[in-house]
Amino acid sequence: MSKRRVRNISGMGISKITLAHENQKLQRHQDLSHYKETFFQCGKCGTCRTVYKDANWSRVCPSGEFGKFEAYYLGGKNLLTWALSTDKLKWSENLAKIFYQCSVCMACVQQCQIPEIHTYAGEWLMAMREEAVKAGYGPMPEQTKYTDHIMTEKNPYMEKNESRLKWLPSHIKQSPEAKLAYFVGCTASYREQNIAIATAEILNSLGIEFKILEKEGCCGSPVYMTGQTEKAIELAEMNVESFKESGIEKIITSCAGCYRTLKETYPNKFNLDHGIEIRHLPEFIKRESKSRENIFTNEVNMKITYHDPCHLGRHMGMYNAPRDVLQSIPGIELVEMTRNRHNAWCCGSGGGVRSAFKDLSSFAAKERIEEAMETQAEAIVSSCPFCLNQFKSNIENDAIQTYDISELIRKAV
């Protein structure tokens, strides 16, 4: 360890972390064998179970806290990965379930102080899912069902592809020649349509020319995150073809999962270098507000707390833009939960958990909702349709309101 110069790694998204280790040859997005010398560096210290030196050492791992056994925490998963890769263990239904009963939220990875594990453990959590698929033990049956639907109808919600644009109201003005597209994503297209409408209205209100892609389909995130990389690449190729056909140069998305997938996964995992600038809505609005005066003209009097979506925060390192935008809206008071930014507790919807492990998913959501209520905020706000949908499904008796950031921006512009 003495020769290593390691940057302050806490709080950075996985895409932003680099090591200054002279001999560091590891790369992200590789298959399991690439990391085979790294699993054994895990000292089984248990540091990945709780927030490291912050937030009262609160717990971070929904999988471990729900599953109760070491196998469900990162330390246990490392040992199982090592055993499998050295042929001491074979795939079984139980082993696959352990790896799928995890939202791939990366909260554990953020806490581990071993640099190689901190940087790369998320990669082998994903690589193990790919291995499970190759061995015929993954994905879980519920995930196979939605994947089959995605491959034909381009959405996981058992809806028809032809009804994808049903949310689009007639008052929304699109510009067919625009170089900017709004990539809506499946959840905002079919379930949280208020987000799609709010985003399109914001763009109209700010006079920004945009269009919605007629051939938009699922970005592939639910397929990729469950280890089905080849199928996810098929979906990605269809989307990239439609980007090229429509001549767009820039995409705005209101979905954390689409953002991660289009910006990070397509070029760096799938080798689809589309060359298109990808912006998440709050990031885009923050830039716009710098070049214009008084972007927010209406007050939104509300005390809120912000939930970091895993795919936007830990996966992409974006923590400030949504907070900066929210705090720029007149009347908004932002209070933080105990676990925030890179230490945020996952809402429990990602990584295929919501479809295959409903009890775990609900357990995670309820813990986050309780944490939000402890702040005395009136509303829990996120910047991901899937998080919003998860909160709506798990908030009981209207105990707290919940919004997507687009809905608050819409009220303010």
Which residues contribute to the site for ligand SF4 (CB under 6 A)? 42-48, 60-64, 73-75, 78, 102-108, 112, 114, 117, 346
Q: Report the alpha-carbon distance of residue 106 to residue 315 in Å, rounded.
A: 7
Closest contact distance (angstroms) between CB of 308 and ligand SF4 is 13
Closest contact distance (angstroms) between CB of 357 and ligand SF4 is 10
3-state secondary structure of 280: strand
Of residues 63 and 406, the one with the C-beta less far from ligand SF4: 63
Dihedral angle of Cα 275, 276, 279, 285, to the nearest 10 degrees: 130
CA 190 from centroid of its chain's CA atoms: 18
Closest contact distance (angstroms) between CB of 205 and ligand SF4 is 38
Of residues 41 and 401, the one with the C-beta less far from ligand SF4: 41
Closest contact distance (angstroms) between CB of 275 and ligand SF4 is 31
Closest contact distance (angstroms) between CB of 243 and ligand SF4 is 30
* DSSP state, residue 344: P
Q: Report the alpha-carbon distance of residue 221 to residue 229 in Å, rounded.
A: 10
CA 54 from centroid of its chain's CA atoms: 23
Beta carbons of 32 and 130 less than 8 angstroms apart = yes
Of residues 102 and 232, the one with the C-beta less far from ligand SF4: 102
The neighbouring-strand residues paired with 183 are: 253
Residue 139, preceding bond cis, omega within 30 degrees? yes
* DSSP state, residue 211: B
Here the tokens at position 41 are 């560096």
Closest contact distance (angstroms) between CB of 128 and ligand SF4 is 11
Beta carbons of 131 and 56 less than 8 angstroms apart = no
Of residues 108 and 412, the one with the C-beta less far from ligand SF4: 108
In which residue are the tokens 């098929």 written?
234
Of residues 63 and 382, the one with the C-beta less far from ligand SF4: 63
Q: Which among 266, 228, 226, 260 is positioned nearest to 103, based on CA atoms?
A: 226
Q: How many CB atoms lie within 10 A of CB 98?
A: 19
Beta carbons of 193 and 389 less than 8 angstroms apart = no
Of residues 124 and 403, the one with the C-beta less far from ligand SF4: 124
Of residues 46 and 331, the one with the C-beta less far from ligand SF4: 46
Left, alpha or beta for 3 (phi > 0: left; psi -120 to 50: alpha)?
Answer: alpha
Of residues 62 and 267, the one with the C-beta less far from ligand SF4: 62
The sign of the CA dihedral 29, 31, 36, 39 is positive
Of residues 46 and 317, the one with the C-beta less far from ligand SF4: 46
Here the tokens at position 266 are 């397509």
Strand ranges, E, within 229-313 = 250-253, 277-280, 302-306
Closest contact distance (angstroms) between CB of 187 and ligand SF4 is 20
Closest contact distance (angstroms) between CB of 402 and ligand SF4 is 22
Length of the chain counted residue by residue: 413
Closest contact distance (angstroms) between CB of 54 and ligand SF4 is 15
Of residues 112 and 369, the one with the C-beta less far from ligand SF4: 112
Beta carbons of 1 and 113 less than 8 angstroms apart = no
Closest contact distance (angstroms) between CB of 399 and ligand SF4 is 25
